[in-house]
Every structure is written in C-alpha cells, then in structure tokens.
C-alpha cells in the first residue's frame, strides 16, 4: 500500500458532490465526531489523496443519513481540516491540493468554516457572519485553472445565495440569542490576509478603508478555488476578535477568552446540518460563472 509522508494510506478519490472545509471554527474538536450529532457517520478518516500538485493529507469521508438530507437519501461528503493542514508546518498551497481533490471528486457545493475578526464596530464578538463578497489584494497564487487563456472566472456572486440562505436559517435555529446572525443579504465584505499572524492595527484600518467589514485568513483561496472547480461556495464563520480589540495594549490578547470554546461546538453543528441540506444537482448560477475562452486565445501566440 502506498502511504503519504505522514504515513497515511493514499486512496482513490471518492465521487461526492459535497465538501466541508474546517478550520479555526472547529479548533480543539474532532470534527464531526465530537459534535455527537446523530445522523452523521465517519466512513473513513486519516486518508490521503494524490493530486497533480502533490499528496493531500488528513481527509475524512462523512455520510449524512436520510433524516438530514433534502431528498431523504444518504449523502456523502469529503471533509478536510484546511487551515491546519499539513499539521506541522505552514503551507498555503495546501488549498490547491485540497481543491484538486474536490475537483476530481466532482464536488458541486463547498461549505468552509472559520473564525474572523471584525473591522466594523457594528459586528460584535460572537456574531455569526455569512459575508457576500471578498477582497483579496493579490488574487489567489494557487490557481487550479489549466492555463491562463483557457478559462475566465467571474468575481460576481462569490458566495452562493441559495447555500447562504440554508446556512443562515440553520444558524438562526441554533445560535445564542446574545449574538446575531448576519445573512448574505446584509452584503458584508470579508478581506482576506493569509495567517497565521493576526492582523496589525494598521492593516485593520487599511482593510476597513477598502470597504471590508471582517477579516478572514482562509476565505480567498477557498472561495476562488471553489469558483475554479465550478462549485457553489458558502462561508460559515463567527467573530472571535472585535474591532476595538485590535487596538488594545499589546499585552492584552486580541482574541476574547472563552468565545471560541463556547461557540465552536455550535458552529460545528450548524456547519454539518446546513451542509447536509445544501441543494443537490448542478442547478445554480454559481456553476456557470466559470466559462471557457475561445480556443485561439490559447493556441495562437
């Protein structure tokens, strides 16, 4: 049996239409095992898959039973801990390998979980946010598109409204009444900056002046690569750092105590329940927002 650098079996990529990308919103939890949510089964874990860009590690294959899905039939999903992968060093190109796996699997819907910082005083610590748009100043350096002239990818509707509606409805059933759920119709904007260093006070001011309401350390590659593989994308995120927290004295933590621990089990449940209910099939405008260019743009040069 072939194994990955960390000793996991390298297995064929399964055919599935759904993916969950996990991250800081699920830190400290075995996802989904620790949610104890009935109807979710882990079919396999600690599996690696081969891609044209190298081996992608730490995959799980989940199954939702018919009580959770739109058509009452079992539904499988690929699941990977994206911004903690690989485990022992920082490698932002892991996103490209992860989405190469999702592309080969035939994934059409991607839900990605993360925590975020607020760049807007009206968005408070503990709030759940489904942003509508993103700002990424350098564009994703880890594109999956086969050649510069083969495809165009639109930047419009980068977050899927149909998936966002289902996620917001799910979140409103579970989120604590002490915080708010901001749906995609609020039109909030997420700036992206690669982590793990947290945002500096100057960057907070800069991104806020560019029109961003929140800052996220993983959303640009996730949203852009979802577009590149022709999948709908929806972010599932909550605020752990408030706007004013970035300007507190250096010795005081930006991240407020207890917020992550209190909300990550709820956010994890919301992510699972919503993912299982995301639309089936290929009927969404998002999936037509990647379009082929004329052949001669590639062949004549």
* In the complex, least distance from residue 132 CB atom to Zn ion, rounded to whole angstroms: 13
Q: Which residue has the tokens 């037509």?
A: 288
Minimum distance from residue 293 beta carbon to Zn ion (Å): 22
Site string for Zn ion, 136-165 (x = CB under 5 A): ------------------------x-----
User: x/- string (CB under 5 A) for Zn ion, residues 69-98?
Assistant: ------------------------------
Structure tokens at 232: 């709908």
Helical axes 94-105 vs 219-228, angle rounded to 10°? 30
- Least CB distance to Zn ion at residue 130 (A): 13
- Per the structure block, which two tokens stand in for 258? 């207890």
Closer residue to Zn ion, CB minimum distance, 159 or 267: 159
Residue 215 CB coordination number (10 Å): 25
Minimum distance from CB of 158 to Zn ion (Å)? 10
Q: How far apart are CA 97 and CA 81, in angstroms?
A: 13
Calpha distance 24→83 (Å, rounded): 7
CB 181 to Zn ion: min, Å = 20
Q: Which is nearer to Zn ion, 77 or 215 (CB)?
A: 77
Among 62, 77, 79, 286, binds Zn ion (CB under 5 A): 286
Angle between helix 161-174 and 259-277 (nearest 10):
130
**Separation between Cα atoms, residue 176 and residue 171, nearest integer Å:** 9
Q: With respect to Zn ion, which residue has the nearer C-beta, 153 or 205?
A: 153
Q: How far apart are CA 94 and CA 71, in angstroms?
A: 33
Q: Whose Cβ is closer to Zn ion: residue 190's or residue 284's? A: 284
* Contact status: 212 vs Zn ion (CB under 5 A): no
Closer to Zn ion by CB, 50 or 222: give it: 222
CB 270, min distance to Zn ion, A:
19
Q: Which is nearer to Zn ion, 220 or 232 (CB)?
A: 232
Q: Which is nearer to Zn ion, 96 or 108 (CB)?
A: 108
Nearest distance from C-beta of residue 184 to Zn ion, angstroms: 11
Length of the chain: 301
Q: How far apart are CA 236 and CA 273, in angstroms?
A: 12
**Helix (H, G, I), strand (E, B), or coil: what is residue 34?**
helix
**Given 25, 190, 212, 284, the residue binding Zn ion (CB under 5 A):** 284
Other C-beta atoms lying within 10 Å of the C-beta of residue 296: 9
Q: What is the DSSP letter of 261?
A: H
Residue numbers 223-282 binding Zn ion by CB under 5 A:
232
Residues that bind Zn ion (CB under 5 A): 160, 232, 284, 286
């Amino acid at each position: 049996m072939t194994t990955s650098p960390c000793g996991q079996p390298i297995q064929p990529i399964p055919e599935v239409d759904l993916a969950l990308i996990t991250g800081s919103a699920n830190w400290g939890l075995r996802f989904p095992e620790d949610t104890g949510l009935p109807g979710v089964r882990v079919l396999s874990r600690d599996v690696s898959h081969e891609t044209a860009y190298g081996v992608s590690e730490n995959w799980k294959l989940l199954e939702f039973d018919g009580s959770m899905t739109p058509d009452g039939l079992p539904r499988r999903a690929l699941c990977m801990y994206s911004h903690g992968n690989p485990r022992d060093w920082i490698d932002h190109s892991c996103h490209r390998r992860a989405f190469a796996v999702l592309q080969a699997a035939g994934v059409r819907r991607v839900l990605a979980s993360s925590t975020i910082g607020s760049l807007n005083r009206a968005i408070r610590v503990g709030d759940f946010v489904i942003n509508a748009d993103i700002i990424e100043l350098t564009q994703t350096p880890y594109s999956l598109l086969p050649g510069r002239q083969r495809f165009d990818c639109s930047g419009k509707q980068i977050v899927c409204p149909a998936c966002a509606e289902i996620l917001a409805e799910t979140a409103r059933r579970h989120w604590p009444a002490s915080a708010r759920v901001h749906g995609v119709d609020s039109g909030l904007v997420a700036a992206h900056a690669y982590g793990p260093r947290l945002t500096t006070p100057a960057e907070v001011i800069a991104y806020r002046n560019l029109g961003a309401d929140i800052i996220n350390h993983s959303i640009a590659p996730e949203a852009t690569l979802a577009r590149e593989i022709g999948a709908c994308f929806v972010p599932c995120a909550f605020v752990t750092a408030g706007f004013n927290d970035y300007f507190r004295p250096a010795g005081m933590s930006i991240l407020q105590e207890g917020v992550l621990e209190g909300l990550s089990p709820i956010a994890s449940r919301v992510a699972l329940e919503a993912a299982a209910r995301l639309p089936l099939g290929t009927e969404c405008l998002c999936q037509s927002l990647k379009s082929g260019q004329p052949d001669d743009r590639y062949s004549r040069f």
